[in-house]
Copies of this chain bind each other. A is one copy, B any other.
């Protein structure tokens, strides 16, 4: 009894999800690949062996031969499609963000609560990354003492798009950092300060944020979308008794004239390919068992990321420390998976 999955969106992320479903999820079938562009959907279907292609996302959600949905369409469609999945009572793995609007996130939350059961898993895949898992585990053992600070560095080689802005650095890249700090530390954010150095060219400069948590920690985040040298995510958790840092796994090193060299990756795939795989397997188990995965992000985590991003943008434009005004967490979204 295979789980029939529809992937909505046949862009970079959609194609990756389709490939994972087809190649890495025994027990799942890539039932439909859906994209407004027939051609694009066809290409992914050919590459991954999808059974059907489609262009109308809403219709796909309602198909009788679809048991679960992965949303990898443009950000602006995530909330609407998630609501549709909730309406159809079909489990959905929604790529982050749930919405860039915290208000819209609350609408999805209301709908899921009304539905009375967990349906939405959010694609913050770093929660399944071995490095962060080890960081969280080390904190749990007590060997580091109480957490004091997290230092986070997010670097891309270059802007994902020509019209990229500093605001997008906060709304697109930073949410991964917001969420993984919430995951590792089990906190919420109370205030943000945001800074930006000046570049000598037209590219978007890095954004540096200092976030304060409701448990007295500092979480510092560099978002550098034009770091030029490679895709590089670093992080360190500083505790009262010790510290733990992420390592970027590498497989070889070269000795060439006057240089010992370890390769940087150009994009996120070598770093997070395995995390996506684990995340999607957790989603499959969720579909099969109905039990929401202990580590996964949910709608509430999506709301938290959105409100923090909104506050971060305000902090950046105002140039001063800005308080995060979070709604109260509904009892529906229990906090146990933070422990």
Contact = CB atoms under 8 A, between A and B. Distances in A.
B229 A243 contact: yes
A253 B247 contact: yes
A25 B25 CA distance: 8
Nearest to A150: B197
Interface stretch (A10-18, A67-75, A91-99, A200-208): A200-208
Contacts of A198: 215-217
Number of copies: 4
A163 interface: no
A138 B254 CA distance: 9
A255 B264 contact: yes
A257 B238 contact: no
A182 interface: no
Interface string A237-251: 010111111110111
Interface in A180-206: 193, 195-201, 203, 205-206
A24 interface: yes
Interface string A129-148: 01101110010000111101
A23, A133, A254, A265: residue with the most chain B Cβ atoms closer than 10 Å: A254
A134 B208 CA distance: 25
A262 B264 contact: no
B23 A252 contact: no
Contacts of A133: 251
A259 interface: yes
| Nearest 9 Cβ contacts at the A-B interface | A198-B216, A249-B249, A243-B255, A134-B252, A131-B251, A130-B251, A229-B255, A242-B256, A26-B26
